[in-house]
Structure 1
Amino acid sequence: MGLFGFGKKKRQSEEAAEAAAEENDKADEAISETAEAPAGGIQETILPEPSDEYDGRGDEHGPWDVDDENVPDYDEYLDMGAYYLPFLQGIELRVKANRATQQVLGTTITYGSSSVEIEAFAAPKTMGLWDDVRADLVEANKDAKETDGVFGTELTLPVVVKGGRKVVTRIVGVDGPRWMLRGIFSGKAATDPDHAETKALNQLFSNIVVERGEDPLAPRDLIPMHPPVAPAERKAAKEAAEAEQAGRTMDIPGQPKGPFDSDQQVEVKTTLSRGPMFSEVR
């Protein structure tokens, strides 16, 4: 379900649309997976009681910013670019992407009969974004209702899905430093605050670590994302970079000392290697 408009989509030919759909199906099959690793899992924090304000973000609980003083160790989280996702045993992760551009737009976490769609947006430096976004949603949807929740004022919004069936969603927004993280909960996580699935997905959402980056972005722009990078991949890339840096600074046997003269020659060889490429669409 979209939150903001991103301009008119260009019309595609039937052939291009069919090709995009095929690629989308392949990506869905490759992306959908169950997280089994207990490491890097959600932290058992006590979220506040339902209220119209969400106090303590960045101090006692999240969602967190990478620069928060008490940010949890997210080395074992899944790197999505705009944010890092903790692991929860038994979840299914799906990545949402633009079919035409293959740009990653967000993620959906399914746990049991519940799910939460997660997107991160740029926000103004001096004020939050969620109050304005929530007001826009209430104005545009006569069925939207504001309620007090564990993440402050939330929205309950019935939506019509494929087949004409109407389901209830629960929309939350949390403001951080120059970002807003939005979650759309459905299933038991949208209707039963005391259900185990609701508590598990609330915990997962509160343990997300957001990385806004320094790129100039207009308020309500999606923070750039990329296909998921597993902890092992990040660790290998980091070790490779450190090894490369160490190789540059280490002493080389037979290396000339002092200033060069006309009898000394240095041959520099540069090897360029191309890293893995990702192509995922939805």
Structure 2
Amino acid sequence: MIFSRKRAGDGRHARDVRAAEVLDSDDAGEAPTGLVRGPYDISEAPDGVQRLDLGSLHIPAVPEVEVRVQADPEGVIQQVVLVHGDSALQLGVFAAPRSEGIWDEVREEIRQSLFADGATAQEAEGEYGTELHARVRTPDGLTDLRFVGVDGPRWMVRGVFQGVAATNPAAAGLLAQCLDGLVVDRGHEAKPVREPLPLRLPREVAEQAGDDAAPAPAPREA
């Protein structure tokens, strides 16, 4: 995994359904404990996996996937993007209420915002539940985006696929593997609903804030 630094939204139900589908297809007939696929809450994350600790998000170390972040001089991360081949996955994590998920509402707000900007957007069912597929105009021309959301206990992960993985989910490959292995550390502090959860550079990287780029810290086993 390459770590480079540059200066500088019902997912929970869907997750349970995806886990159940894997369990139903288990020929052994014995259901393993815990969730089969993530994103995981830190309380239920599998042990023995190398992950890059960015605070609220712990990203699994997957070979050939580049982790790009934009951070301020204090090391507070503004954006996280995973890149593999011709595809990218932008990640965000937000506070949510204890009682229910927020992806349905967030997805509708994204759809309305896209329409207001003159972009086309439509919902579709995918392996993460209801997704939003959009085509937006950028300085480089028309770009396809695929928004996915997963609600967890008091948090929501939003992923935005770009490139080939936006139009062909089967091509997500290692990026989907990263999303499935993602771990969220929500913390115990009360936070407003939809507030982004804090993301920070690893200490050893933040200490080199004066550099244009910093090398990757060795992922640690959780």
Q: Does 1:91 align with 2:68?
A: no
| Structure 2 residue ranges without an equivalent (≥5) | 7-12, 20-33, 214-222
- For normalisation by structure 1, the TM-score amounts to 0.59
1:1-282 → structure 2 map (5 Å cutoff): 31=5, 53-54=14-15, 55-56=17-18, 59-68=35-44, 71-73=45-47, 76-98=50-72, 103-142=76-115, 143-163=120-140, 165-195=141-171, 198-228=172-202, 277=207, 279=209
Deviation by residue 1:208-229 (Cα, 9 ceiling, x = unmatched): 0100011221111110111036
Q: Deviations over 1:4-53 (max 9, x none)?
A: xxxxxxxxxxxxxxxxxxxxxxxxx9527xxxxxxxxxxxxxxxxxxx94
Q: Is contact 2:86–2:163 with CA below 8 Å preserved after alignment?
A: yes
Task: Note closer, same or farther for the CA distance 1:218–1:278 as it changes in structure 2 (3 Å cut).
Answer: farther
1:229/1:119 Cα in 2 relative to 1: closer, same or farther (>3 Å)? farther
Question: In 2, Cα distance between the equivalents of 1:159 and 1:86?
Answer: 30
Larger Rg: 1
Shift of 1:279: 3.0
Q: Percent of aligned pairs with the same residue?
A: 32
Structure 1 residue ranges (4+ consecutive) displaced by more than 6 angstroms after TM superposition: none
Label 1:103 to 1:162 Cα distance change in 2 as closer, same or farther (>3 A).
Answer: farther
Structure 1: which 5+ residue stretches go unaligned?
Answer: 1-28, 33-51, 234-275
TM-score norm. by structure 2 comes to 0.74
Does the 8 Å contact 2:145/2:160 carry over to 1? yes
Instruction: Report deviation, 1:90.
Output: 1.1
Which amino acid letter does the alignment assign opposite residue 122 of structure 1? A
- Residue 252 of structure 1 corresponds to none
CA distance in structure 2 between the partners assigned to 1:107 and 1:190 by the alignment = 17
Answer yes or no: is the 8 Å Cα contact 1:227–1:278 preserved in 2. Answer: no
CA separation of 1:123/1:278 partners in 2, compared to 1, >3 Å: closer, same or farther? farther
Shift of 1:102: 5.3
What residue identity is the alignment partner of 2:139? K
Measured at CA, do residues 159 and 96 of structure 1 come closer, stay the same or move farther in structure 2, by a change above 3 Å?
farther
Larger strand proportion of the pair: 2
Query: Conserved in 1, the CA contact under 8 Å of 2:4 and 2:68?
Result: no
**Matched-pair contact (CA < 8 Å) for 2:103–2:156:** yes
Paired AA for residue 148 in structure 1: E
